[in-house]
Amino acid sequence: MNSFGTPITLFKMFGFSVRMNFSWIIIAVLVTWSLATQIFPMSHKGYSQVVYWWMGLAGMLGLFVSVVFHELCHSLVARRFDLQMKGITLFIFGGVAEMTEEPKSPKAEFLMAIAGPASSVALALVFYAVAYGGQSLELPEPVTGTIRYLGFINIVLVVFNLLPGFPLDGGRVLRSILWYWKGNLRWATRIAASFGSGFGTILIVLGIMNVLMGYFVAGMWNFLIGLFLRSAAGISYRQLLMRETLHGEPISRFMNAEPVTVSPETPIAELVEHYIYKYHYKMYPVVQADKTLAGCVTVQRVKEIPKDQWNHSTVRELMQGCSEENTISPDQDAMEALAKMSRTQLSRLMVVRSGRLLGIITLKDMLGFLSMKMEFEQ
């Protein structure tokens, strides 16, 4: 998802931020075009192209509402079990309710997972009831036909999401059952993720077969969804291992207690020549003479200054103040530091207490420790 840029926040509902990745625009255009030029003209003959495009637009918006409703139900149940949710993000393959931690019990996992498909079933029944009620009231066929399509597409969402492959809803249900049976979350995740990877492989093969048979669009969608499912299964399992490995590990284990710092009065030319070219870091803490932390200066900020001004500008003019984004308390654990780095896209955080710099924690050091510990434990 990150390859399509930073998601934009659309609105908030029940305390959850609903965001849209720019890749959702691709699916919105493709769905509207497919409905207006292929699906609705074949199923509802005799209408003008303008009518079909309005039906296509309505169908796409209905799909948007259906996906948001599906993910919102996941999030509401997750909140019921005290799981922290970052929000809901729509992207090219649908939507995802973003959790910052794993469910605390098999029961929480099962109920959270099944809430999405159950909500889609309920939504499908509502759409079908409205469509047939509209026929009784003699509403125009394009209206009832579009609503009936939304009932059908919600059933499709249910069937696909209930495939027993992690991280699909069906895979989470499978994981909750295996977790309850063995009492081992890591083992249950590995098995469920293997199913997800297997289903992804099947979709990739079906996609290739469809392309060879001449069904290019359907084949490409099967192929891309298969790639996504294989990738998501592997990433989800690695994220679990990461959480288990880093949770509870003190920041002091990774922290460099003697970081390279600069003075606010350092000229930019000296910063570049004696710090950036020498150490190759992207961020340097700015420490005053009394050892208090003034902020930090980044390579990106230096790039904004013309080279002919480097001798006449100082770090003080470029430095950024300390904030929740670029600092962390030594009392927090490594997983919280990693989550902050992921959220802010920063690879270095300043460890600060009472306005004083205690050290620097870097993504490189954390991942090195993670790799080594996982290698020994496996």
Residues assigned a catalytic role? 71
Contacts for 240-246: CB closer than 8 Å, 24+ residues apart: 240/102, 240/185, 240/186, 240/189, 241/186, 241/374, 242/335, 242/338, 242/370, 243/101, 243/102, 243/335, 244/186, 245/370, 245/373, 245/374, 245/377, 246/333, 246/334, 246/335, 246/338, 246/366, 246/370
Residues 6+ apart with CB under 8 A from 29: none
DSSP state of 35: I
Amino acid identity for residue 181 in this structure? W
Per the structure block, which two tokens stand in for 300?
Answer: 């990106």
User: 125 vs 118, 128, 132, 142, 269, CA distance in Å?
Assistant: 11, 5, 11, 19, 68
